[in-house]
Structure 1
Amino acid sequence: MRVALGLLMSGTRHHFIPRFLQEGFASHYSGEKAFTWVHRKGVAPFNTNIINSGVEGHFYTTEGDTTADDLITSAEGALASLLDGVRSEDPEFLRDPQLPVLIAHLEVRTRHLRESFLKTGELLASRLIEFLADEDAFAGYMTRRLERDPTILRSSLAEEFVKRGIPMNHLDSVLHLATPLVPALIQAQRADFPRIAAQLRDALPTILKTAAKSGHIKALQSTVAPELRVQRYAELTFRIARVSNMPLILGDSAVLYAVVGPRRYRAFLDADTDLSAVFLPVDSQRVLIGSHEGTVTDVPPDLSNAIARCSLEYFISAENTDQHEALRDQIGADAHMLDQSEIEDIVNESLQ
């Protein structure tokens, strides 16, 4: 019955952390209703029905298109049954070929993923807008860019020819006449750069939010468990491990990845990142661990701390303890795909 409860996602309120996963972190039940503790940074923890946790209105729909929502709802039945079997610690379920599908699915469906793309895009775009607002720097950049790659001007002129119905056999002649004038035209437009930057800055939040949602939904409409990710997790051997030091929490990324590098834990796995282990808390006492064959990965003593740090907005727990209270301040510390220095490197490299 509790598996069935976790499948009620279709409609207007969509659970980006599936209820069948959240039920493992129930503090108590009232009839058929499961409750959990929600911990947000800077906010006192509160106990709520999981129907109100990890949920957002129309999260998987846009302009009445319910395709992504329908595909996720369809997939949840088998995944919920699989997770129920994993919690039973039946060895057969730990060898189930659908386990990599479960991991990949949980990774790509969350609000954490969408918001991380959005925040990364905002930081990148903000840096580029700052550059556009600098008249001297941007004018110099555009001049050098066109000198290094004249095909940019050719492509732009060709698009205008097509729009205006101008025969393409005139393109080379126009290009020959226009090229020497480009540096002067750029200099003449310098005063407009700050105004354009200001307009972009005002429009940026709406543009990026719309793009992040439509891009996420489009990806989910293609697949609710990307095959390349499934194949990568299929290389792992899975087992259930119990914890004893403190009740586990469930972060808003659901899955946690241990990787090789300065940031040991991540909420998402890049294609070129060296994976050490996958951790999926299934309830307050047990965690599903995936690691490469021949490698036995123990439960890290700092697992709950890492989960909190890689959570973007909140985590849930079956208990409200002093230890959980202390973890609230860690929320968001390691949540983003790229940190500020990585974004600066991308911007600087792009502008070279």
Structure 2
Amino acid sequence: MLASKGRTLAGRKQHYIPQALQRGFGQVVGDATRVFVFKKGQQPYRSSTKGVAAERDFYSEPSEEPSLDDKITSYENLILAPAIAALRESPVGMIDASAAAAVVVHLSIRSAFVRGSLSAAATEVLGNFAFALSSNESARVLLEIDSLESDSMLFQVIWDGILERFGSIPESGRTALGKLAHFRAREKFPQMLPDLAQVVLQQFRLLLDQIPELIVSGHSRALDRDMAPLMRVKRLKTMSWRIVAAEPPNHFVLPDCLAIGSTKADFSSMEPYSLLNDEEFTCVVMPVCASKVLVGCFGTTEIDPSLLNRAFAKCSLDYFISLRDDPSTAEVAQFIGDSVSHFLDDLVKTRTFDAPKKNCQFEVQPPDVKGSAQEPLRTPIRFEPSSRKSGKAQAALRRLMSAPELQTGMLVVETIVVTDNVARSLRVRGQALNEYTSQSVRLGTCHVSRGTDQGISCQLFLTTESVRSVASGHPDMRTAAALIRHQAGRATYYAAVASQIPTEVLSRQRPLLEAAGLHIATSFSSHYFGGRLSGLGTISAEEFAATDIHCCEALLRCIRELGSARLHFIENRDADAALGHAFLNVEQFLCAAATACATVGGSMERWRTSKSIKELEAVSLGDWFELFALDLGRLFEKRASLSTDKELVLLGSHVERVLWSFGVVVSSPTPEQIWMDVLEDSQLESTLVMLRS
């Protein structure tokens, strides 16, 4: 102790676990009390309490004015030490809640454990931030790049910038500009990430260097405001408190967190009390000496004292103090830090920084068209005309459709129709088809016969030619089998969406533009599922070249038609006709693009040098194509865990993005309307420049 101007000051070695408490866990040797210190991963050692749980200037440096350590020393001498002594001398049984509450709260918040656990938590979280920035997928999750929510990080940055720079333009213009900027940021993110990560990591390193000082100053300010926060004390006062003794020859250790708590009434799953919220815990335990613990709980739950030392060890961050160095104490010492480690893991898990995990529910294999030991398909098969019916064809088709990865979809398939003319078979069943639709189903289709409000039910329509090719072992049977499985894969999409996303979510009222986007997203997403589950596996260079030619032709047709939608509106000012034409062709465009994305299992390497990508780049959709594949792949990987429509709504927004490249801007001035604007030639050129930049 020091003296200054007639007042007594604390020394520079300041105890964050007061010696008044430590002495209850030691043995008097001469004029000192000696305790055993069990540190994590080290051999125990014996030391005087003068050197244990103390640090130079832990609370404050010496000062002419009353310091924080002076205030704590005064609190110890006047209140804390007498209270600890009284608790130790209390007989086993019920005690006053007020004294117990104040002692537990003060001791638990003043310790180095608070600083150490906060520092570990901050370091762990920032470390996971840094790790998340090491890959495109996890960085997108961390920075909320692909979120359409208005409170997402990217959304807020974009809208703040637009309001600052373009606050004077009409709201509809700001909305369109914001959507465009958001999409472009998503498309260019892989190229932006290295520079962005470097800047962010520099800031993280600076912050990591500042964390210890920030935590020390924050902890000190909190203690200076209140030695025992009133709300915490009030919560503990409502508990029933009692003294529980150890059964000889057992003894209690003192954890560096001082008090532990549980969220369960049976005292299971004990955690450091200072890491629990006031609303969480139902019981609290703190040792007051080697032979007694202070127990507070709601109710009269019994506690097993013999299990407490392991809990005390687990809840310690670095060490615990003990009266003895014996085998049982050494045995529990191996658990030091376990609870804090779990706390840090849970803390990091509250924010998902990892890329979506691969869904291994279905491993897609090349189709077995010659034989299979799998459970045969029992879905009814109809041939139209019936004269085409063949036992060999049925057997081949049943084998093909019995693949494990297709079974989720086949559960919702009522009938498989093998027909010479798919369009005719659909018309016989009352489906109205225009020329475009007739052409789009020429090679087969998956027709949804009931909507999500009554549950999904599908019919698969396959061509007689493709089924015959598989049954006869024709040289084209691999391609034919892929066409057939493509439709079963589409059924898997409908089954996955129907079974995972609640009906009330899918059928809820939503703005008309969002509903239209969702409808189109359902169509092209099913084609993506069909392509991923078609069973082609790794395709050869020749097969990819043929796919590229076919895809390029389909995309070019749609590109021409989408361009004509804008011109039609400029010439005729018929918004309904132009909008219908635009939506019809953007759906066909997206279906073709989705099938292309799926052809190589979601990998973009081959497409980057393809003919198709060159045509897309000509209309500023080259970067978009890779983003489209990423969004579709995310939906596919999450197919077994979907619970909301967020992924589908995000995919539906691609409708607007594609239309921008053709000078068509759609919006919703009211939830019941879709408004269409078209850009003049100069505006279109400026927009294309923005979409290429």
With structure 1 as the length reference, what TM-score do the two structures score? Answer: 0.80
Alignment partner of 1:72 is 2:50: no
Please give the alpha-carbon distance, in whole angstroms, between the structure 2 residues aligned to 1:349 and 1:271.
Answer: 28
| SS of equivalent to 2:10 | coil
**Quick check: 1:333 aligned with 2:338?**
yes
Distance in structure 1 (CA, Å) of the matches to 2:340 and 2:145: 38
How far is 1:274 from its partner? Answer: 3.8
Q: CA deviation at 1:204?
A: 4.4
> Corresponding residue for 2:15?
15
Distance of 1:9 and 1:101 partners within structure 2:
24
Give the SS at the match of 1:301.
helix
| Residues 1:255 and 2:259 are matched in the alignment | yes
- Give per-residue Cα distances to partners, 1:114-173, cap 9 Å, x unaligned: 111111222222222222343465468554457735554454688xx7xxxxxx9x7445
Superposition map of 1:133-172 within 5 A: 133-135=134-136, 138=139, 141=143, 143-145=145-147, 148-149=150-151, 150-155=155-160, 171-172=167-168
AA partner of residue 119 (structure 1)? A
In the TM superposition, what are the counterparts of 1:15-164 in structure 2 within 5 Å?
Answer: 15-31=15-31, 33-61=32-60, 67-77=67-77, 78-89=79-90, 94-95=95-96, 97-135=98-136, 138=139, 141=143, 143-145=145-147, 148-149=150-151, 150-155=155-160
Q: 1:270 aligns with which of 271, 274, 277?
A: 277
Q: Pick 1 or 2: higher relative contact order, CA cutoff 8 A, min separation 6.
A: 1
What amino acid is aligned across from residue 237 of structure 1 in structure 2? S
Residues 29, 173 of structure 1: CA spacing in aligned structure 2 closer, same or farther, 3 A cutoff? farther
Structure 2 vs 1, CA of residues 96 and 233 (structure 1 numbering), >3 Å: closer, same or farther? Answer: closer
Deviations 1:319-343 (A, max 9, x none): 2212222222111111357242x23
> 2: CA distance between counterparts of 1:326 and 1:225?
34
Matched, 1:311 2:313: no
Q: TM-score under structure 2 normalisation?
A: 0.43
Shift of 1:105: 0.8
Task: Indicate if the aligned counterparts of 1:241 and 1:299 stay in contact, CA closer than 8 A.
Answer: no
Residues 154, 234 of structure 1: alpha-carbon distance in 2 compared, 3 angstrom cutoff: same
Pair 303,58 (structure 1): closer, same or farther in 2 beyond 3 Å: same
Give unpaired runs (5+ residues) of structure 2.
Answer: 1-7, 356-645, 647-693
Q: Contact 2:59–2:220 at 8 Å: present in 1 too?
A: yes
1:346: which partner in 2?
A: 350
> 1:233 aligned to 2:236?
yes
Please say if residues 272 and 315 of structure 2, whose CA atoms lie closer than 8 Å, have aligned partners that are also in contact: yes
Structure 2 CA distance for aligned equivalents of residues 12 and 157 of structure 1: 55
Q: Is 1:211 aligned to 2:217, yes or no?
A: no
- Distance (Å, rounded) in 1 between the aligned partners of 2:224 and 2:160: 33
SS state of the match for residue 278, structure 2?
A: coil
Q: Deviations over 1:55-90 (max 9, x none)?
A: 122222379797432332232121110111111116
Deviations 1:154-204 (A, max 9, x none): 54688xx7xxxxxx9x74459949745565567364330232244245334
1:5 is aligned to none
Query: Using the alignment, how far apart are the partners of 1:289 and 1:218 within structure 2?
Result: 29
SS of structure 1 residue aligned to 2:289: coil
Partner Cα distance (1:195, 1:25) in 2: 50
Is the 1:309–1:332 contact (alpha carbons within 8 Å) kept by the matching residues of 2?
yes
Query: Which deviates more from structure 2 when the two are superposed, residues 110-119 or residues 259-268?
Result: 259-268
Shift of 1:25: 0.9
Mean CA deviation greater in 185-194 or 77-86? 185-194
Name the structure 1 match of 2:464. none
**C-alpha spacing 1:336/1:233, structure 2 compared with 1 (3 Å):** farther
Work out whether 1:246 is the aligned partner of 2:250.
Answer: yes
Q: Is the alpha carbon distance of 1:36 and 1:63 closer, same or farther for their aligned partners in structure 2, counting shifts above 3 Å?
A: closer
2:288 to 275, 282, 288: 282
Change (3 A) 1:344 1:213: same
Paired positions, count: 332
Where does residue 626 of structure 2 map in the other structure?
Answer: none
Q: Deviations over 1:201-220 (max 9, x none)?
A: 53343122222222222221
Q: Per-residue CA shift, 1:293-321, capped at 9, x if unaligned? A: 5x153343211111111111111111221
The offset of 1:234, in angstroms, is 0.1
Please state how far the C-alpha of 1:267 moved relative to its aligned partner: 0.9
CA distance in 1 between partners of 2:98 and 2:288 (Å)? 18
1:164 paired residue number? none
Q: Give the secondary structure class of the aligned counterpart of 1:239.
A: strand
CA contact (8 A) 2:138 2:354 kept: no
CA distance in 1, matches of 2:139, 2:294: 51
2:80 & 2:94 partners in 1: Cα distance?
11
CA distance, structure 2, for counterparts of residue 189 and residue 62 of structure 1: 47
Q: Is the 8 A contact 1:310 1:334 kept in 2?
A: yes
Kept in 2, the 8 Å contact 1:256–1:267? The answer is yes
Rg larger in structure: 2
Contact preservation (8 Å) 1:146, 1:153: no
Contact 1:27/1:37, CA 8 A, preserved across alignment: no
Identity of aligned residues (%): 21
Q: CA deviation at 1:52?
A: 0.6
Which of 278, 288, 297 lines up with 1:291 in the alignment? 297
Aligned equivalents of 1:266 and 1:349: distance in 2? 25
- Contact kept in structure 2, 1:100 and 1:230, CA below 8 Å: yes
Contact 2:313–2:320 at 8 Å: present in 1 too?
yes
CA–CA distance in structure 2, aligned partners of residues 15 and 113 of structure 1: 14
8 Å CA contact 1:134, 1:193 repeated in 2: no
Gaps of 5+ in 1: 1-7, 162-167
Residues 11 and 242 (structure 1 numbering): CA distance in 2 closer, same or farther, change over 3 Å? same
Identify the residue that residue 600 of structure 2 maps to in structure 1. Answer: none
Change (3 A) 1:139 1:323: closer
Q: Counterparts in 2 of 1:161-200, with a 5 A limit? A: 171-172=167-168, 176=174, 179=178, 180-181=180-181, 184=184, 187=188, 189-200=192-203
CA distance in 2, matches of 1:130, 1:173: 40
Partner of 1:4: none
| CA contact 2:22–2:49 (8 Å) conserved in 1 | yes
CA gap 1:343/1:172 in 2 versus in 1, 3 angstroms: farther
